[in-house]
Homo-oligomer: A and B are copies of this chain.
Amino acid sequence: MDDTQEPRWLDLDEQRTFMAFAYMLVQLPAAFDAFLQRTAGISLFEYQIIAALSVAPERTARLSRLAEFTASSLSRLSNGVTRLEERGWMRRTPDPDDGRYTLGVLTDAGWDKVLAASPGHLGEVRRLVLDPLTKVQQQQLHRISERIMRVVEPDKPPINDRLRDLPHLRGRPTHAEPQCLEQPVEATQDS
């Protein structure tokens, strides 16, 4: 963003900043994974898959998209989906638009599972990430995350834009509880 030369080493402040950040980067997902495993009997990876489906149009997404979203290989994702199918939480179906794609669809049981696991997980999100920060820090964290991802994925728009442009989930209450995962549902439409 600022200097174009080739600085081999980080200065002291940069080292400390990165060490604090990198340490969090390793520890926090492990904390979420352990929590989900303990409270919902599901790994963070599997939760991410069904949570993504729960906010997708028709609760359906291409496996390749899910692989991107979870930063996993198609192979790993395929195996994960097989496991989730065996548990009855999702199923596969070929994409009618292009037979090369396979769609993953969340089942009703999968939807129930997301609804059951989410409050606890989001409680941890609040406890570990949101509550410790001031409002300003939350906003900064949002901006910082987007700035970093803009470099990691130069060709892709911000994740929230990608999720928001799902023109879906309109009148689909299906369950009494609002879902409010990582992605707004009804609120999405009019913002």
Q: Quick check: is A163 within 8 A (CB to CB) of the other chain? A: yes
Question: Would you call A187 and B1 a contact (CB within 8 A)?
Answer: no
Known A-B contacts A144-B133, A151-B128, A152-B31; the reply to A182 vs B71 at CB < 8 A is: no
A30 to B: closest C-beta gap in Å = 4
**Distance of A134 Cα from B28 Cα, bound (Å):** 24
Nearest CB of chain B from residue A14's CB, rounded to whole Å: 6
Q: Which residue of B lies closest to A9 (CB)?
A: B180
**Option from B9, B23, B25, B123 in Cβ contact (under 8 Å) with A28:** B25
A15 touching B146 in the complex, CB below 8 Å, given contacts A1-B132, A151-B127, A152-B31: no
**Tally of contact residues, A, Cβ under 8 A:** 74
Are A191 and B24 in touch, CB under 8 angstroms? Answer: no
Q: Decide yes or no whether A166 CB sits under 8 A from chain B.
A: no
Copies of this chain: 2
- Asked if A7 is at the interface (CB within 8 A of a chain B CB), the reply is yes
The docked-state distance in angstroms from the alpha carbon of A83 to that of B140 is 40
When the two chains form the complex, which single residue of B25, B123, B144, B148 contacts A140, counting CB atoms closer than 8 Å? B144
Q: Mask for A152-191, Cβ within 8 A of B = 1, else 0? A: 1100001110010000000000000010111110010001
Q: Is A23 in contact with B126, judged by CB distance below 8 angstroms?
A: no
Q: Given contacts A20-B158, A145-B21, are A13 and B138 in contact (CB under 8 A)?
A: yes
- A-B contact list, 5 entries, CB within 8 Å: A12-B184, A13-B139, A21-B129, A23-B159, A28-B148
